[in-house]
Amino acid sequence: MTFPRIGVIGGGQLARMLAPAAEALGIRFSVLAETADAPATQVISEVTVGDYTDFATLKAFAETVDVVTFDHEHVPPEHLRALAEAGHAIRPGPQALIFAQDKILMRRRMDDLGLPNPAWAEITSRSDIEGFAERVGYPFILKTPRGGYDGKGVRVIDDVDEAAAWLDEVGQLLAEEKVDFTRELAVMVGRSPMGQTAVWPVVETWQQDGVCKEAIAPAPGLAAEKATEITEAILKVAGALEVTGVMAMELFETPEGFLINEFAMRPHNTGHWTQDGAVTSQFEQHLRAVLDLPLGSPAAREDVSAMVNVLGAEHEDLYHPYLHVMAHDPAVKVHLYGKGVRPGRKVGHVNAYGQDVDLVLARARHAADYIAGVDPDPHPKLPSPADLDANANSATDPA
């Protein structure tokens, strides 16, 4: 058996969704999971349960695999460096991953690379806060440089006392201007150790309370020159940091161009649409990239794809709504993660695709929200084929 073995640190939904790609490619695959019932442990037979912050646990796991990769960015950087120095193939490597782990180091590096950042400052004292407020005015954004996810660790700041109280608790913060963006965008690349790259189309994203809720591919109405600039930017970062695997870059679109928000160096929520909407999914590409195999085509298979997250809401039972969702729209694709429901928790997503962006998005929203049990009132009515015909007719009929 010459097929290599990949070890994934973290047993969340991203590790779980790597499994079908590994199975198809015949890649052996094991997981170091936090708990015995983590999402990936339900579908992967080779599971070690252990603490990813403990070096001895990481080392013992790394010994059993050919390549180590990740479901999250929370493994301590010093452990990753020690594993790499001991000769383990850590992909992405610690020299790249640090820029997804530490937002201050990331901002500094983006400035060095000449890429567009929001105004920012490292904050370690009350006078840093006052200085930044003088520069950009209130409100501005404060973030914990490390350990944040899904908007946890991001606050809008209206006065110095509030910021100083938080600084006292955590010791170091990243301040950013509050960007008046027109919308949020994201782009993903796969890059292999040999330096091959493949970039998927730029997507539009929407975050609800700091949590990704929707992604539309390609980003509707994005000018071709802007899409090219964004593609060039992610290629520049991936090359400069020698990223291996897939990487996501989140962006703010502004009237003048775009500003970089942050990076993830692993499969990412804004790339879930690729499971059903692209020739190569981000999960397959991640495996190919970390194994230094030739990459798959990132081309879209559909005119429009939409991904809407199932965020925990009214329903504990997510299975019963399948009856309606599947009967109502046999073309939507449901992906659930085997997680218990808590309010706002990401428990799954739905992909839909087709030609008309409003209709595709409405279909994905309807299915995702129906499964979660979200009150459908805030969403637009699902257009029926008859409505669409009527619109088409009124648009072409001058009478």
Q: Which residues bind ligand ADP (CB under 6 A)?
A: 118, 141, 143, 148-154, 176, 178-179, 184, 207, 210, 250, 261-262
State which residue, 248 or 359, has the beta carbon closest to ligand ADP: 248
How far is Cα of residue 370 from the mean position of the Cα atoms in its chain?
23
Q: How far is the CB of 272 from ligand ADP (least distance, A)?
A: 15
262 a known binding residue? yes
Q: How far is the CB of 352 from ligand ADP (least distance, A)?
A: 22
Distances (CA, A) of 322 to 303, 328, 369, 370: 26, 10, 12, 9
State which residue, 77 or 148, has the beta carbon closest to ligand ADP: 148
State which residue, 197 or 270, has the beta carbon closest to ligand ADP: 270
Query: Which candidate, 25, 43, 24, places its Cα nearest to that of 33?
Result: 43
381 a known binding residue? no
Query: Which candidate, 183, 194, 181, 342, places its Cα nearest to that of 270?
Result: 183
State which residue, 116 or 151, has the beta carbon closest to ligand ADP: 151
Helix axes 103-112, 94-101, angle to 10 degrees: 110
State which residue, 29 or 120, has the beta carbon closest to ligand ADP: 120
C-alpha span between 136 and 139 (Å, rounded): 8
Q: How far is the CB of 261 from ligand ADP (least distance, A)?
A: 5
333 a known binding residue? no
Query: Which candidate, 3, 4, 5, 9, places its Cα nearest to that of 69?
Result: 9
Query: Which candidate, 258, 278, 256, places its Cα nearest to that of 204?
Result: 258
Distances (CA, A) of 25 to 28, 142, 274: 9, 43, 17
Query: Which candidate, 92, 18, 1, 78, places its Cα nearest to that of 275?
Result: 18
The burial of 30, by beta-carbon neighbours within 10 Å (0-12 exposed, 13-18 middle, 19 or more buried), is given as: buried
Per DSSP, the three-state class of 231 is helix
Q: How far is the CB of 399 from ligand ADP (least distance, A)?
A: 45
In DSSP notation, 280-327 reads S-HHHHHHHHHTTPPPPP--BSSSEEEEEEEE--S-S--STTHHHHHH
Q: How far is the CB of 329 from ligand ADP (least distance, A)?
A: 28
236 a known binding residue? no
State which residue, 47 or 259, has the beta carbon closest to ligand ADP: 259
State which residue, 143 or 349, has the beta carbon closest to ligand ADP: 143
The answer to whether the bond into 77 is cis (omega within 30° of 0) is: no
C-alpha span between 130 and 134 (Å, rounded): 6
The DSSP 8-state label assigned to residue 220 in this structure reads: T
Q: How far is the CB of 20 from ligand ADP (least distance, A)?
A: 26
State which residue, 150 or 358, has the beta carbon closest to ligand ADP: 150
State which residue, 5 or 155, has the beta carbon closest to ligand ADP: 155
Q: How far is the CB of 120 from ligand ADP (least distance, A)?
A: 8
269 a known binding residue? no
The answer to whether the bond into 218 is cis (omega within 30° of 0) is: yes
Q: How far is the CB of 254 from ligand ADP (least distance, A)?
A: 10
Three-point CA angle 349, 222, 268, nearest 5°: 30
Q: How far is the CB of 387 from ligand ADP (least distance, A)?
A: 32
Mark the binding-site residues for ATP, compressed into ranges.
103, 143, 176-179, 184, 261-262
Mark the binding-site residues, compressed into ranges.
103, 143, 176-179, 184, 261-262
